[in-house]
Structure 1
């Protein structure tokens, strides 16, 4: 595992674009601290005049934007090397300032709700600069039943730092303190396991490597089962407290209401996928046939079924492949990709202590950033396309919206990223040179839908059941969580052997600390498959709709923004269409397997 100092500068992100130095960060933090009393001075004055309301909202946005930059810088510095105490301290201070700012703003929503709505609308009509806040204020009024009194809102805001405890414990335990065993790779070389290497080892053609990686990672998590269950249980209890304090009927309702997502969208996603699990069972059976194993274990689910086409790509090759795959999005989009690739928006390689996984982050007024742990696989190439989809979604929204509407909602967050993936996959399928390469890409497509649509919906079922049990007063023990996880995996993966160690797999899913987030991977992927198909087939009209989608931020209800782009997620049709694509690709793959394409060797046809 390389140290941070061994990574070339050109492969690290340039956080100086946010703050030149830590001293500049300190100066900005001091400025925010000085402005908090100014914010609180508007308490009791919002209904005084249109000018007073505009001035208060403008100052709120200024402070919130600066706090966002402080958070982004501090947390990205921490994520470079999570064991560095000075970086942890900076992130803690940023969190504390974020919570303090929330407290300083906590009175604003209750005071707005106490105003006469007609008086506020009169303000909006009489002052043009205030009119841009119309939708934002309407959203506040929509939340009226769940906003508490000013003192109660202050208490809720003050809990913000404590509310992060469970997630922080999980992050520190799994990224900084937890040590995984050493296994031997395909060449017999001893390699220390990590989360990133685990993903690669599960794709190894050597079954011994896959099994040992599976046992090493999940065996380590099992050693901490009580701690991890307590940590996750604390997160769920926080969700339950907030939902009840705000008068919601359930944790799910509380989580979805912020973006005005109907409960039917969540339930329809789960029900549609459950109804179509026969397609996933067919794929699992085909995987068992191609691998020629007596029993298909959970560590056999990720290995590519066509080994010889399992290429690796150096980073520059990967960037070029992403550029070509995303050409249907136009020259403007391509130019922005190049700007990000050239100008150190991206932190590329894994180093000791670096946060695992990948993400995009940024702040209004500064270009977005991307964290990778690039390893050279086709999956890593798709991760570049995915995270740059997030990044450019933010870029377009920041460019075309005022700060108050610049951040797109979580419900829309995965659409642009997975549209990029879908376009890249289409490009690769179009360029496939023979049946064997096409078989490999079809397998990749099936894996994308399995892991993004089916697996994330399994996660969504898990969250729904866990929160339901908490709402019913049932304890969340390691045993109960493990039993539920095993039951769901047996239902989803039918013909496969659900290994005992899989029982603790739930405990390594970081997204569970952001309740009811994961279902949006499934809805986002279904939307992306539809949008990418329309962009390729219709050209400019579909592309114009898509560009408008990228630029709208949160300036309208999420369901409406997506519907205007052409996808109505209040219906089951988009999810059904995505599973239809899965079955179409599966049928073609079954035919290629029957023809023996999977047995041929690249270059000699045998």
Structure 2
């Protein structure tokens, strides 16, 4: 793999072109000034919206501001991510963040104003102003929250309490990101080094079991030491969620969390129950893992090591892109043309360089195009990352091309569908074209582990959240012992009886930041299962599913996520799609055991 000591060494066609947003920085500055003036005008509308025309003028100006602001912020963020050490780029981002605060402040009056209107008044405004037809669905969507909004005085009190209510989340964030130190472990060269999270994710996959065990013990040690403090923050966060849902007149915390996507609680419950009804293949995989590793006792630090060693194919970026285009060909010529455009028109920033942000992401910018950040390392993982992010990219591109600005951005609920469909098509292509048994085993193992992490683990987390919030709702105590018992029982139920539990297993709850964003992780599982179902249908040659899937990619947020998925044949209110995906997992485990 070629390494680059600076960004200037990277070929121009492997760097994204930010000139598509602003061809010179003076244009960024111009938009910045315009947005400031627009924010002032919006602020001046407070108390001045009296009829349909003035409501339309406000909404029209606000949308224009949003369009410009998304470009201003994206440009600054992408510049920083090219090289996080670049102080001049950081100045741009700091100014963009400051502008965001100004805009939020200027528009903060609007939602309380809208929800203070009577339904008939809003109907009257919409009928008298033709321009409001464009905003009508969005207005009624906001109006859906009316029964959960309090009086102006009560809302102001809640607003003032906002900072205090966020203390548990903030405290855990500070402990987890700033205070926790994992101590020293032995690295590959035998030196004692400070353990980091990035290093842990590598060491827990190391073939040397002693290294895995040492890293595991070191990683969990500070969480166990801080168990009472972390239990206190998590308990407070959960109780805050329960209290707020009661204050806002929701039947439960779960229903409050699902309200925005208009998802009935039965979908959440169905996901958990259907998974548990089909848990057998996961238990089987745990047994296979113990056999393959030739262990008398399987422990948690043995659960991430790849079961196929020595498979490290070199896949240069150009080759990876060609493989992707061939693998995704079942999605049609138009889809592949869009992918080629991403490459030819420099939408993708490919190479790892000093100071560049780590990881990978897709950022869709309405009215411009998607930008994709990679840190490509010419290996199999990089190929999967490319295919994954391009799934997001095409979803962003098609939604922007076929939707007005107001409905172009898709919901988090469906965000992982396009990326996972691509990964399933890639796995299928590689397995169909790979003769090397070791690589085939590695591919199946990779996908099984991805399925386990993105689906089963997230469902387990989702059930933990449900159980602990129900306890809080009933006034039952939440402490270290309760969290330990709940988590340990779920871990055993999902992973089976083959694992010998170290003391650390039951503290798994203490290290999960997502638990401070209630009832969020289930979306990973529903998105993943939906994608498996769709990809399987497409690979079976179902043209109706292919057509409806491509239409789904163009739909943005033009309907609620469950309804968009139903149009593709995925109905998450029934067990069918989840069961179909779990059958696919069972077949993978069966094939892996035979190979």
What TM-score, normalized by structure 2, do the two folds share?
0.85
Q: Is contact 2:6–2:354 with CA below 8 Å preserved after alignment?
A: no
Counterpart position of 1:256: 258
**1:500 corresponds to which of 499, 503, 515:** 503
Which residue of 1 is the match for residue 146 of structure 2? 144
Where structure 2 has 5 or more consecutive residues not aligned to the other structure, the ranges are none
Deviates more, 1:553-562 or 1:535-544: 535-544
Q: Does 1:538 align with 2:541?
A: yes
Give the Cα separation in 2 of the matches to 1:12 and 1:189: 36
Contact 2:83 2:356 in 1 (8 A): yes
Give 2:576's match in structure 1, choosing from 570, 573, 576.
573
Cα pair 1:195 1:356 within 8 Å, conserved: no
Q: Which moved more, 1:564-573 or 1:72-81?
A: 72-81
Q: CA deviation at 1:120?
A: 4.0
Counterpart of 1:325 in structure 2 is 327
Q: CA deviation at 1:41?
A: 3.4
**3-state SS of paired residue (2:134):** helix
More displaced stretch, 190-199 vs 4-13? 4-13
- Matches of 2:74 and 2:257, distance apart in 1: 23
Counterpart among 587, 592, 595 of residue 589 in structure 1:
592
Residues 1:64 and 2:71 are matched in the alignment? no
> What is the rounded CA distance, in whole Å, between the counterparts of 1:387 and 1:235 in structure 2?
33
CA offset at residue 263 of structure 1?
Answer: 0.8
* Contact in 1 for aligned 2:237/2:516 (Cα 8 Å): yes
1:578 to partner: Cα distance = 1.0
1:479 Cα offset (Å): 5.3
C-alpha displacement of 1:528: 0.5
Check if 1:463 corresponds to 2:465: yes
8 Å CA contact 2:364–2:397 kept in 1: the answer is: no
Which deviates more, 378-387 or 489-498? 378-387
From 470, 482, 487, the equivalent of 1:485 is 487
Question: Does residue 553 in structure 1 map to residue 548 in structure 2?
Answer: no
- Contact 1:103–1:154 (8 Å) recurs in 2: no
Deviates more, 1:319-328 or 1:107-116: 107-116
CA deviation profile, 1:513-555 (whole Å, cap 9, x unmatched): 4322211111111110111122223365433211211111111
The CA deviation string for residues 389-444 of structure 1, in whole angstroms up to 9 with x for no partner, is 22221222122212211111121112112111111111112213155443333323
* Deviation (angstroms), 1:368: 2.7
Question: What's the secondary structure of 2:567's corresponding residue?
Answer: helix
Once residues 199 and 346 of structure 2 are traced to their aligned partners in structure 1, the CA distance between those partners, rounded to angstroms, is 24
Note the 1:357-436 alignment, pairs <5 A: 357-372=359-374, 374=376, 377-433=379-435, 435-436=437-438
Hey, what's the Cα distance between the residues in 2 that align with 1:162 and 1:80? 36
Aligned: 1:563 with 2:563 = no
Of 82-91 and 69-78, more deviation after overlay is shown by 82-91
Counterpart CA distance in 1 for 2:178 and 2:347 is 25
1:525 aligns with 528
The equivalent position to 1:306 in structure 2, one of 302, 308, 312, is 308
The 2-side partners of 1:180 and 1:82 are apart by 25
- Tell me whether 197-206 or 398-407 shows the greater mean CA deviation: 197-206
Is the Cα–Cα contact under 8 Å of residues 264 and 570 in structure 1 kept in the other structure?
yes
- Shifted more, 574-583 versus 438-447: the winner is 438-447
Using the TM superposition, name which of 549-558 and 148-157 deviates more: 148-157
Aligned partners of 1:93 and 1:158: how far apart in 2?
Answer: 26
1:261 aligns to what SS in structure 2? coil
Distance of 1:171 and 1:89 partners within structure 2: 25
| Deviations 1:185-214 (CA, angstroms, capped at 9, x unpaired) | 556577765434433333333323333333
The range that moved more, 36-45 or 350-359, is 350-359
1:489 deviates by: 1.5
Q: Distance in 2 between matches of 1:93 and 1:515?
A: 31
- Report SS of the residue matched to 1:322: helix
SS of aligned partner of 2:410: coil
CA distance in structure 1 between the aligned counterparts of 2:23 and 2:577, rounded to whole angstroms: 45
2:267 is aligned to: 265
Give the superposition deviation at 1:511: 3.3
Q: How many Å apart are 1:43 and its aligned residue? A: 3.7
Q: How far 1:260 moved relative to its partner?
A: 0.5
User: Which is further off, 149-158 or 495-504?
Assistant: 149-158
**Deviations along 1:128-172, whole A, 9 cap, x unmatched?**
543222321221232221133455556666777777776666666
Query: Per-residue deviation at 1:74?
Result: 5.5
> After the TM superposition, which of the residue ranges 564-573 and 387-396 deviates more from structure 2?
387-396
Q: Give the Cα–Cα distance (whole angstroms) in 1 for the partners of residues 394 and 344 of structure 2.
A: 15
Which residue pairs with 1:289 in the alignment? 291
Cα deviation, 1:470-518, whole Å, max 9, x if unaligned, reads 4445665555444433332122112112333344444443433432221
TM-score by length of 1: 0.83
Q: For 2:234 and 2:86, how far apart are their aligned partners in 1?
A: 25
Matches of 1:75 and 1:453 in 2, distance apart?
Answer: 31
Query: Are the equivalent residues in 1 in contact too, given 2:5–2:354 (CA < 8 A)?
Result: no
Is the 8 Å Cα contact of residues 175 and 354 (structure 1) preserved in structure 2? no
Rounded to whole Å, the distance in 2 between the matches of 1:79 and 1:150 is: 41
Matched, 1:516 2:519: yes
Alignment partners' CA distance in 2, 1:309 and 1:200: 16
Residues 46-445 of structure 1: matches in 2 within 5 Å? Answer: 46=49, 48-49=51-52, 51-73=53-75, 97-118=99-120, 120-121=122-123, 124=126, 127-150=129-152, 153=155, 183-184=185-186, 193-219=195-221, 221-222=223-224, 232=234, 235-236=237-238, 239-240=241-242, 242-341=244-343, 345-346=347-348, 357-372=359-374, 374=376, 377-433=379-435, 435-445=437-447
Q: 1:598 maps to which residue?
A: none
CA shift for structure 1 position 579: 1.0
Shift of 1:324: 2.6
**1 CA distance for matches of 2:324 and 2:237?**
37
Q: Secondary structure at the match of 2:305?
A: coil
Unmatched runs of 5 consecutive residues or more in structure 1 = 593-606
